[in-house]
Amino acid sequence: MVGEKKGEGRKKIVAVLPKGGPAAKNPKYLNCVENGLGLREWLESLGHIYITTADKEPPNSELDRNLLDTNIVITTPFHPAYITEERIMKAPKLELILTAGVGSDHIDLHAAAKKGITVAEVTGSNVESVAEDEIMRMLILVRNFLPGYLQIINNEWDVPAVAVKAYDIKGKTVGTVGGGRIAYEVMKRLKPWDVKRLYYDRHQKADRFDKMGVQWEKDLNSFLPECDVVTINVPLTDSTRGLINKETIGKMKRGAYLVNNARGAIVDQDAIIDALKSGQLGGYAGDVWPQQPAPSNHPWRHMPNHALTPHVSGTTLDAQVRYAAGVREMLEDWFQHKPFPEDYYIVREGELAPQYH
Ligand code: NAD
């Protein structure tokens, strides 16, 4: 193989990215097979082998065909390649898995830890992008925006039909499940809006929330009934999978709104549909799905009062620049045997980062 002639330290790196298609003509559109996070020229100038592919479905995808001699895999939550234990076992040379973005639940972290593989992500790289998007989705739901928009497209004009379910966000209570980086950016942005702000996090109260006047609830059961709008900002872990389910939705105010840009599997898919149909939830918005890409017949596409999109909030052009730079920074460190910034590590020397415990 070509790669083995050019000396030690040469790595084979496989990045699994979505196809950009026409978007790839924009050189700023980095998160695609064609533009390869902007890393190709640099990696190849160092003598490394760099493969970018969108082909990721097991068992015979390009990713699978390369596992045997790949050293580094780069994945992205926007086109998740599931790095299962089975794949890890088929990759004897795999030493590093990088997430271009934030959220590494598509990787079997325990299996990586067991094999001594390092997993890291570009912590903080797109938190503002996601926070802005969450504020937008809250407003879309609370103001009942989409029915009015659809009226215009359908050549209709019916103010009462929209306004009968439209509210101000002023004076409402907005709560976040999770009090990490995205939650902080969301609460910061809501500060001048005259809303009561709450957060629930199973970890300690955080000073920075206190300083902004955001109240802490240590119990999900007392937090949920307080909120008119709940936004979810926790990673997908064993403790958060299905956290929002029939029972917890039942604790929310009738007609409250739910925004989820965290991960689809944090909510129970059918409980969301039932709650929208019964009116227990006034609306559901977000960009993350239990399966990505969502199949064309996914029931969430047609449920009432939703404001869902494909997984886009954390991949604005600005965010792409930041997380592509973070991936490069980590590769540079790795090649020089230097440590990454501390909070980039998700699995290090067999240990999982605290947010994944
Ligand atoms: P973060 O690590 O800064 O914060 C996560 C917070 O969740 C931590 O404070 C942690 O204590 C808390 N937490 C963990 N488990 C909990 C539990 N069971 N109950 C209550 N709190 C719990 O992470 P972040 O940067 O704020 O990102 C959060 C998640 O958002 C990511 O893990 C990722 O899944 C998702 N995300 C989505 C996009 C997107 O494009 N849609 C982009 C970035 C991140």
pLDDT of 83 higher than 90: yes
CA dihedral 148, 149, 155, 161 (to 10 degrees): -10
Extract the tokens encoding 324. 């592509």
pTM of the shown model = 0.96
Q: Is the CB of 240 under 6 A from ligand 1?
A: yes
Active site residue 263: yes
Out of 99, 102, 203, 207, mutate this one to test ligand 1's pocket (max ligand atoms within 8 Å of CB): namely: 102
- Is 239 touching ligand 1 by the criterion CB < 6 Å? yes
Average pLDDT over the chain, rounded to an integer: 96
pLDDT at 7: 46
Q: Give residue 332 CA to ligand 1 midpoint distance, Å.
A: 26
* Helices and strands (H and E) in the chain: how many: 13, 14
Question: What's the confidence (pLDDT) of residue 158?
Answer: 98
Whole-angstrom distance between the N-terminal and C-terminal Cα of the chain?
A: 40
The answer, yes or no, to whether any atom of ligand 1 lies below 6 A from the CB of 180, is yes
Domain 3-125+315-356 sits in CATH 3.40.50.720:
yes
The residue type at 10: R
Output the six-digit token pair for 87. Answer: 């794949």
pLDDT, tens digit, for every residue of 167-179? 999 999 999 999 9
Selecting among 35, 66, 71, 126, the annotated active-site residue is 126
Average pLDDT over residues 146-163: 98
Question: How many Å apart are CA 188 and CA 84, to the nearest integer?
Answer: 37
- Whether 311 sits among the annotated catalytic residues: the reply is yes
How high is the pLDDT of residue 3? 36
Q: What are 224-255's pLDDT values in tens digits?
A: 999 999 999 999 999 999 999 999 999 999 99
pLDDT per position as a tens digit, 184-238: 999 999 999 999 999 999 876 789 999 999 999 989 999 999 999 999 999 999 9
Tell me whether residue 126 is one of the annotated catalytic residues.
yes
Tokens 């969450």 label which residue?
Answer: 134
**Fold identical between 3-125+315-356 and 127-308?**
yes
Q: Does residue 275 surpass a pLDDT of 50?
A: yes
Q: Bigger pLDDT: 50 or 6?
A: 50
Whether ligand 1 lies within 6 angstroms of the CB of 121 is answered as: no
pLDDT at 8: 63
**H-state helical runs in 69-180:** 85-89, 109-114, 127-142, 145-153, 159-163
pLDDT above 70 as % of the chain: 97
Q: How many angstroms is it from 234 CA to the middle of ligand 1? A: 3
Distance of CA 112 to the CA centre of its chain: 20
Q: Output the residue whose Cα is nearest ligand 1's atom 37.
A: 262
- pLDDT for the residue numbered 203: 76
120-133 pLDDT per residue, tens: 999 999 999 999 99
- Classify domain 127-308 by CATH architecture: 3-Layer(aba) Sandwich (3.40)
Q: Cα(330)–Cα(346) distance, rounded to whole angstroms?
A: 13
Which DSSP letter does residue 197 get? E
Are the beta carbons of 265 and 241 closer than 8 angstroms?
yes
Distance 102 CA to ligand 1 centre (A): 9
Element (H, E) at 175: strand 173-177
Domain boundaries, the chain: 3-125+315-356, 127-308
* Local structure of 118: helix, strand or coil: strand
Q: What percent of the chain has pLDDT over 90?
A: 95
Residue 115 in tokens: 């094999």
Lowest mean pLDDT among 23-37, 102-116, 204-218: 204-218
Q: Catalytic residue at 204?
A: no
